[in-house]
Structure 1
Amino acid sequence: MSQGAEVENAAVEVEFEVSDPRYPLVALSAETGCEAELLQLLPRSNGAYTVFQRISGTDPERVLEFTRSYDGFDARLVTSGDESAVVEFRISAEGGFFTICLTDAGAIPTQLASKDGVARIVAEIPATYSASDVISRFEEHYPSMEIIARRQKPTPVPLFQRKELQEAVTRLFTPRQREVLVLAYTNGYYDWPRENTGEELAAELGVTYATFSEHLRKAEQKLLSLIFATE
């Protein structure tokens, strides 16, 4: 199918690559030798974002040290294991990073990874937006980017609703509830068999298992009430 013959009510999925080391995600893997993989993207107030990345291939402290050289780009270590670590990046609206540029244009980043000095970004563009306009806007901010693939992706629910859901969840949760829920999700607590127990995750946070369970239960309750509540 040609790029011009796009199906009505179908999302467009676009895969980009950026190898310019002026950009933090590119420089991160080039300078530290790590591999970074997106786990979760959460909107915050004032147009900022929190991004959870799984980091492997280097000492997490090198990643934290790396972020200190960029304005509007803070990081903290969430968990650390033998093979990988989970790092929380806080990106300000003024930072001009990939995720902010794409979401401001109307796209939804679904994959964000960096390896060997190349950043790979996959984003879904809802049918309510012009894919060409979104791509042009991204290219304007990142002229060195390359489009690797562009494909139709029919979906029964408009993808912009996912962003609205994330924003609603962010407003509902306390910072600690969000931290506990994301920690559980990104560390296999909801997998079967579980990769990490509640006791292990509580130890990572430096809290008792009872405290961890209380925060997690309240976060889950708020999330379910958002989905199932009736007027």
Structure 2
Amino acid sequence: MTEQQDGTTVELEFSVEDEGCFFVAASERADCRIIGRETIQRTDGNRLEFFRVQGASRERILRVADEYGSVRGARVAEQSEDEHLLAAVVTGRCVAATLADTVAVIKRAEAVDGVATIVADVPPYGDVRTVVETFTDRHPDSHLVAKHTFSDGLPAVAENERSARLEAGLTDRQREAVTTAVQFGYFSWPRESTAAECADVLDVSQPTFSQHLWTGVEKLLTTMFDADSRATAQ
């Protein structure tokens, strides 16, 4: 039997101690806080995952990543002595991928000392029971700790749908380049990383990265302004 929402949005909070999730295990092994930022599913079956790491040195988090069996490569951009941005190519279980399979939208993923807190929204057209059962089945040592119902749609759902529309025209490489640039502060002022450093994250040359990045940015801006023009015309 499905759990109908009757037009409401449901916020779910899970506690996860699944060693099969890289960021959960790494938070314990590196004795730090790891915050999930973005996940991109690649066509080769791997995922490009971005994290903010707090409380561990660059060398320590890279060593943990290198020793973790399902990490295929990792890069770190240092923000301060004990805060960094981490990009890793990962296989194995992933909370963001699990939730995406159930139409739930992840809002927060944060792990400390081997325990993660995952918060996600289930839109009105989703089935809460299916989301909970799928999540706890795929992630050992996880359980639901809170559920809240809202009569109005939550921003995370609307933002996710808007992002999906904007990104629909991007190739996989363009999406990776744009996401890496955003997550690694390439567009920040002052700039937090160079094009060469972003290219290194993706294991491509700097000219290739720049080509994918600016083609992707052009597509995103064109789509955004076209949508605004149509809305104004109506």
Shared fold (TM-score, shorter chain, > 0.5): yes
- Percent identity over the alignment is 25
Q: Is the 8 A contact 2:17 2:140 kept in 1?
A: no
Within a 5 Å distance, the mapping from 1:178-217 to structure 2 comes to 178-187=175-184, 194=189, 196-197=190-191, 201-202=194-195, 204-205=197-198, 216-217=213-214
Within a 5 Å distance, the mapping from 1:102-181 to structure 2 comes to 102-153=99-150, 154-155=152-153, 159=157, 162=160, 165-166=163-164, 169=167, 172-173=170-171, 175=173, 177-181=174-178
Q: Is the 8 A contact 1:43 1:170 kept in 2?
A: no
Unaligned runs of 5+ in 2: 201-205
User: CA offset at residue 96 of structure 1?
Assistant: 2.4
User: CA offset at residue 136 of structure 1?
Assistant: 1.0
TM-score, normalising length: structure 2 = 0.73
Q: Is the 8 A contact 1:126 1:160 kept in 2?
A: no
| Amino acid corresponding to residue 136 of structure 1 in structure 2 | E
Deviations 1:51-93 (A, max 9, x none): 210112112333333234444433421422324221112233x
User: CA offset at residue 218 of structure 1?
Assistant: 3.2
CA distance in 1, matches of 2:64, 2:141: 22
Unaligned runs of 5+ in 1: none
Q: Is the 8 A contact 1:43 1:166 kept in 2?
A: no
Residue aligned with 1:8, SS = coil
Q: Is the 8 A contact 2:5 2:127 kept in 1?
A: no
Q: Does 1:62 align with 2:51?
A: no
Root-mean-square deviation (Å):
3.8
Residue aligned with 1:101, SS = helix
CA distance in 2, matches of 1:174, 1:140: 29
Residue aligned with 2:126, SS = coil
Instruction: Say how many residue pairs are matched.
Output: 220
CA distance in 2, matches of 1:158, 1:99: 14
